[in-house]
Chains A and B, each alone.
Chain A
Amino acid sequence: AQRVTQPEKLLSVFKGAPVELKCNYSYSGSPELFWYVQYSRQRLQLLLRHISRESIKGFTADLNKGETSFHLKKPFAQEEDSAMYYCAIFSYFNKFYFGSGTKLNVKP
């Protein structure tokens, strides 16, 4: 069964510090992974998808099939990065399985 695990409920870092939000998955097949973000009082939105190999707002995520991980990283956190982050895996019928989420708090 497809599953996504985000081990940290809350991650607090200071502005300018590196940040890594962890995501591990289980999937029988070739996984397609995503990060979604929800800023305060805004709707959930796509941040990035692994297949695009893109950097969005300074965030990157590399799919590591050996470790079954898709950690989200940013070298220098900004206060505006404070949000709820969800890792998600794509399944059939265009379904996604979401992790439990990590709240990132970037302190000034």
Chain B
Amino acid sequence: DVKVTQSSRYLVKRTGEKVFLECVQDMDHENMFWYRQDPGLGLRLIYFSYDVKMKEKGDIPEGYSVSREKKERFSLILESASTNQTSMYLCASSSSRPPRLANNEQFFGPGTRLTVL
């Protein structure tokens, strides 16, 4: 069974704290993604990675950084959490293998609801 796991379902942090959100996939996928999900805004891509130690900015990278030291793990880091980063964070992974990239669906984790006070 396909599995993407996220380290926490719920997290409460204070303004200014450094926050780590961890995501692990066991499908040997090359691509991993971090989104935030907000009502009325849908899913917005923060960062993604298509290989170990590779990272690319998404649409809203400001205030975030990522780390991918191992293929199965992709971490999202909030260097100094702010209240406007209160959101649901979703991790996803997908394969780059043939025959067709566009057929390779993204598999999502259960999400981490982060509240920054």
* A interface residues (Cβ-Cβ under 8 A, vs B): 6, 9, 32, 34, 43-46, 49, 51-52, 86, 90, 93-101
Interchain CB contact under 8 A, B48 and A95 = yes
Enumerate chain A residues within 8 angstroms of B40, measured Cβ to Cβ: 9, 100
B71-107 toward A: CB 8 Å interface, digit per residue (1/0)?
0000000000000000000101010100011111110
Q: A32-B102, A94-B96 are in contact. List 18 more A-B contacts (CB 8 A).
A: A43-B108, A43-B110, A43-B111, A46-B106, A49-B102, A49-B105, A52-B103, A86-B43, A94-B50, A94-B94, A94-B104, A95-B45, A95-B58, A96-B45, A96-B106, A98-B42, A98-B43, A101-B42
A51 to B111, CA, bound (A): 28
A and B contact pairs by CB, cutoff 8 A, 18 listed? A43-B108, A43-B109, A45-B108, A46-B105, A49-B102, A51-B100, A51-B103, A86-B43, A90-B102, A93-B56, A94-B31, A95-B45, A95-B48, A95-B58, A98-B42, A98-B43, A98-B44, A99-B42
B interface residue numbers (CB < 8 A to A): 4, 31, 33, 35, 40-45, 48, 50, 56, 58, 90, 92, 94, 96, 100-106, 108-111
Using Cβ atoms and an 8 Å threshold, which residues of chain B touch A98?
35, 42-44
Bound complex: CA A34 to CA B92 (Å): 15
Contacts of B56 in A (CB 8 A): 93
CB within 8 A of A86: which of B42, B100, B105, B110? B42
